[in-house]
Amino acid sequence: MTLCKALLAQLLGLIIAIGLNPLLPLQLSGLVALLALQSSCSMLSSVLLRQPHWWLVIHLLFLPSALALHSQELSVFWYLLITLVLLLVFGGTVKGDPPLFLSSTAVVDSVSQLITQESALHFAELGAGIGTITVPLAKDHPHLNINAWERAPLPWAINVWRSRHYANSTCYRCNLWSCDFNQYDVIFAFLSPAVLPELGTKLGLAMRPGSLLVSSSFAIPHWKPETIKQVNDLAKTQLFCYRIT
């Protein structure tokens, strides 16, 4: 369904752009203008089709990147390689999973402080990506037992490789929804707001009373945070910390 909506948005963008192109002033005609129009119309169609917001970036870049690559006359091998890498990193996004965005070093430092404050012994990250958070935590907190849950194959493999020297960190290539949330003192998640209502319902029931849930960047609807940690990074990230009662 997600992929159908994405294709439809691209197609609508193209049809509208071709339709509107002759109406543009002469100075604005040409391929660049057509591409700009197609990208904008695809983004608009994506909004109307209620696709998650990260699809806007994909729609913005899709056709211009495809044409740029095509103009390079690359061998078929490169297309195959690029497609394979994209599938291994973003395959789940097509099914509706949040895509890979990395947390900043300042977020890692804040999470590390929370681990110390909480005297946590068991930590899980839901959607651990390439280990941006779990690798430094494993290094700085040798007594912390870390479980990194990640579904996308390539980020998971990179995390496994980066964690190879840390016996206290285990990377599971698994759907985060099958995680046993009850065994952790702190759970960290940097996921799309689209999945947070369902995640909140599930975690509220499954996490141990007294444990801490940290949601990066997005609040869980209808939950009252115990604290909101303001991180001093470029994105001005906020960490929403919820105490499970």
DSSP string, 134-188: HHHHHHH-TT-EEEEEE-SHHHHHHHHHHTTT-TTEEEEES-GGGS-GGG-SEEE
200 binds ligand SAM (CB under 6 A): no
DSSP 8-state code for residue 234: T
127 binds ligand SAM (CB under 6 A): yes
Q: Closest Cα partner for 141 from 188, 103, 199, 206?
A: 188
In the complex, least distance from residue 216 CB atom to ligand SAM, rounded to whole angstroms = 6
Q: Closest Cα partner for 43 from 32, 33, 57?
A: 57
Residues 6 or more apart whose CB falls under 8 angstroms from that of 4 comprise none
Residue 106 CA from chain centroid, whole number: 18
157 binds ligand SAM (CB under 6 A): no
Q: Which of the ranges 15-23, 63-71, 173-181, 206-214 carries the binding residues for ligand SAM, by CB under 6 A? A: 173-181
Closer residue to ligand SAM (CB): 128 or 207: 128
223 binds ligand SAM (CB under 6 A): no
According to CB under 6 A, which one of 61, 86, 102, 167 is a site residue for ligand SAM?
102
In the complex, least distance from residue 67 CB atom to ligand SAM, rounded to whole angstroms = 28
Q: Which of the ranges 15-23, 28-36, 148-156, 229-237 carries the binding residues for ligand SAM, by CB under 6 A? A: 148-156
Closer residue to ligand SAM (CB): 39 or 110: 110
Q: Which of the ranges 16-24, 32-40, 97-105, 232-240 carries the binding residues for ligand SAM, by CB under 6 A? A: 97-105
Tokens 């009373």, located at residue = 209
Q: Closest Cα partner for 240 from 105, 120, 110?
A: 110
Return d(Cα 83, Cα 89) in angstroms, integer.
Answer: 10
**For binding to ligand SAM (CB under 6 A), which residues are involved?**
92, 97-98, 100-103, 125, 127-129, 132-133, 149-152, 155, 175-177, 190-191
